[in-house]
Amino acid sequence: QAKQQGRSQHRFYSPEINARLQERLTVENELRGALERGEMVVYYQPLIDLRSRQITAVEALVRWQHPTRGLISPAKFIPIAEDNGLIISIGEWVLRTACEQNRTWQLAGMAPIRMSVNLSARQFEKPNLVEIVKQILQETELSALYLELEVTESFLMGDVQRSITTLKQLRELGLWLALDDFGTGYSSLNYLNRFPVNMLKIDQSFVQNVTSNSDSAAVTDAIIALAKSLQLKITAEGVETQEQLEYLEQRGCHEGQGYYFGIPAPAEKITELLKLNSQQLEHLVA
Q: Among candidates 243, 237, 197, 280, which has minimal Cα distance to 45?
A: 237
Q: How far is CA 277 from CA 8, 110, 138, 246, 272, in A?
A: 58, 8, 27, 21, 9
The entry of ligand C2E, Mg ion, none near residue 264 (CB within 5 to 8 angstroms by kind) is ligand C2E
Does the protein bind ligand C2E through residue 78 (CB under 6 A)?
A: yes
Size of the residue set binding Mg ion (CB under 5 A): 5
Give min distance, CB of 240 to ligand C2E, in A.
4
Site for ligand C2E in 173-232 (CB under 6 A): 180-181, 204
Quick one: 3 exposed, middle or buried, by C-beta within 10 A (0-12, 13-18, 19+)? Answer: exposed
CB 80 within 8 A of CB 122: no
Choices 17-25, 106-114, 188-196, 237-245 (CB under 6 A): range interacting with ligand C2E: 237-245
Q: Measured between alpha carbons, how far is 125 from 111 in angstroms, rounded to an integer?
A: 34
Does the protein bind ligand C2E through residue 62 (CB under 6 A)?
A: yes
Q: Measured between alpha carbons, how far is 40 from 61 in angstroms, rounded to an integer?
A: 11
Bridge-partner residues for 72, per DSSP?
A: 64
Binding mask 62-101 for Mg ion (x = CB under 5 A): ----------------------------------------
List CB contacts of 264: < 8 A, sequence separation 6 or more.
43, 44, 45, 59, 61
Q: Among candidates 150, 262, 166, which has minimal Cα distance to 202?
A: 150
Binding mask 93-122 for ligand C2E (x = CB under 6 A): -x-----------------------x-x--
Query: To 5 degrees, how large is the angle CA 194–CA 235–CA 177?
Result: 40
Give min distance, CB of 238 to ligand C2E, in A.
4
Quick one: 228 exposed, middle or buried, by C-beta within 10 A (0-12, 13-18, 19+)? Answer: middle
Give min distance, CB of 139 to ligand C2E, in A.
18
Q: Which of 44, 46, 88, 91 binds ligand C2E (CB under 6 A)?
A: 91
Does the protein bind ligand C2E through residue 73 (CB under 6 A)?
A: yes
Taking the least distance from each CB to ligand C2E, the nearer of 117 and 278 is 117
Binding residues for ligand C2E (CB under 6 A):
45, 60-62, 73-75, 78, 91, 94, 118, 120, 150, 180-181, 204, 237-240, 257-259, 264
Binding residues for Mg ion (CB under 5 A):
118, 150, 180-181, 237
